[in-house]
Homo-oligomer: A and B are copies of this chain.
Amino acid sequence: MSNEKIPYKIYLEENEMPKEWYNVRADMKNKPAPLLNPGTLQPMTAEELAPVFCDELVKQELDDTTPYIAIPEEIRNFYKMYRPSPLVRAYCLEKKLGTPAKIYYKFEGNNTSGSHKLNSAIAQAYYAKKQGLKGVTTETGAGQWGTALSMACSYFDLDCKVYMVKVSYEQKPFRREVMRTYGASVTPSPSTETEIGKKILADHPGTTGSLGCAISEAVEVATKTEGYRYVLGSVLNQVLLHQSVIGLETKAALDKIGEKADIIIGCAGGGSNLGGLISPFVGQMLRGEADYRIIAVEPASCPSFTRGKYAYDFCDTGMVCPLAKMYTLGSGFIPAPNHAGGLRYHGMSSTLSQLYDDGFIEATSVKQTEVFEAAEYFARVEGILPAPESSHAIKVAIDEAKKCIETGEEKTIVFGLTGTGYFDMFAYEKFHDGKMDDYIPTDAEIAESLSKLPKVD
């Protein structure tokens, strides 16, 4: 093993934890395009967003000039319960691979939500509480976000209504129970509690629901109920802002041990983890202070960066939310049932889309079965059972480390390990039993979906 003096796990001290989030948009010359009102096709104003989101979060959503935004003390105190997360030197993985590369991963799974989602959930709950709201609504698919939000709401004594895609509600009863433990109400979607839910149930009896439908229900309840707002766990600028705590800690830890990353790798669904991880590093690139190779990894079944189009599109399948300019497969694209539920989103964060379009990020897509092969390999050598989402990054990190064996280069590879797979064992079971498929949409399918993009000038 090289460099024995670096410990297996690098923890920042509590007083080294970030006191401000970093807003990468402030350093971008080409700003991400604004959200558009789906009716007028004009940029959404703060007033238009206020019925949906908390005031402070609207401000953060629209702010593309302030580089650093203070993390309120109450949030920092909550962070101290499960942060700083460790930056882990993957000595065992390096040894097993026989690579000269140095591999590090930032592990965000050591909290009960099981993923990085808690970083933004606690911020959004805090601002809701500060505004004197009674509660928030949201949707959840696989359940990480719903779990994180219910933990955050419990901490601030806020009501939390989660609309959970019906098929997940039934297939993931454990996730549902974790949310109930934190006092959230969990409703299978579509439900008869909302107009849109009733309509969908009437039109499609027996439907098992979709994320798009659950979003529509959550938004309807938030906007129609006094004292409630809607919150979202990915895609939005505010979420990337909160998640920058991942990248800031990673960079601080690397600086502390005198290490500089060559390659930074993250899985990409809506972009919350990838955006959070890379923000401070991309900031350096934008300011001309450093250079990195940054790789977004997406599932071959839902390849918005690698096979999508950079265009305005609806954020939800219900087409009631604002339009965002982003790499998209079309809001009508139904991703195949890949087990990385957190990556099954038709679009991509506007900020990351602009950075990708400007060449600061590269992207690659990987197949489900090779992802699970990498997941199992990693679990056995590093002792952590990774979430399917995170395992996309593992797969590419291992590939890059293998390239270093051939070239002999001692590259420093950093990847984001966003969470644990304890609630994904049905997927692992399918993999073990050889019953896992790879789903790759055809060109025709994608073209068909993209042909229905909304027409914006």
A380 touches B14 (CB 8 A): no
Residues of A within 8 A of B (CB): 7-9, 11, 13-14, 77-78, 80-82, 88, 91-92, 110-112, 114, 151, 154-155, 173-174, 177-178, 180-183, 376, 379-385, 420, 422-423, 425-426, 428-429, 432
A81 CA to B151 CA in the complex, in Å?
Answer: 27
Cβ–Cβ < 8 Å partners of A173 in chain B: 425, 429
Which of the residues B92, B182, B381, B385 comes within 8 Å of A112, measured between beta carbons?
B385
Which of the residues B81, B155, B380 comes within 8 Å of A155, measured between beta carbons?
B380
A81 touches B154 (CB 8 A): no
Residue of B nearest to A372 (CB): B181
Which of the residues B77, B78, B112, B384 comes within 8 Å of A420, measured between beta carbons?
B112
Cβ–Cβ < 8 Å partners of A182 in chain B: 379-380
Residue of B nearest to A113 (CB): B383
Beyond A82-B383, A181-B376, whether A422 also contacts B425 by CB under 8 A is no
Cβ–Cβ < 8 Å partners of A77 in chain B: 91
Interface of A is mostly: helix
Cβ–Cβ < 8 Å partners of A183 in chain B: 380
Q: Beyond the given A9-B14, A81-B382, A155-B383, could you list 16 further A-B residue pairs with CB under 8 A, ordered by the A residue number?
A: A11-B11, A78-B383, A82-B383, A112-B379, A112-B385, A112-B420, A151-B383, A155-B380, A174-B422, A174-B423, A174-B426, A177-B426, A177-B428, A178-B422, A178-B428, A182-B380
B379 touches A80 (CB 8 A): no
A151 CA to B92 CA in the complex, in Å?
Answer: 14
Q: How far is the CB of A129 from chain B (nearest CB, A)?
A: 15
A13 CA to B428 CA in the complex, in Å?
Answer: 35
Residue of B nearest to A375 (CB): B181
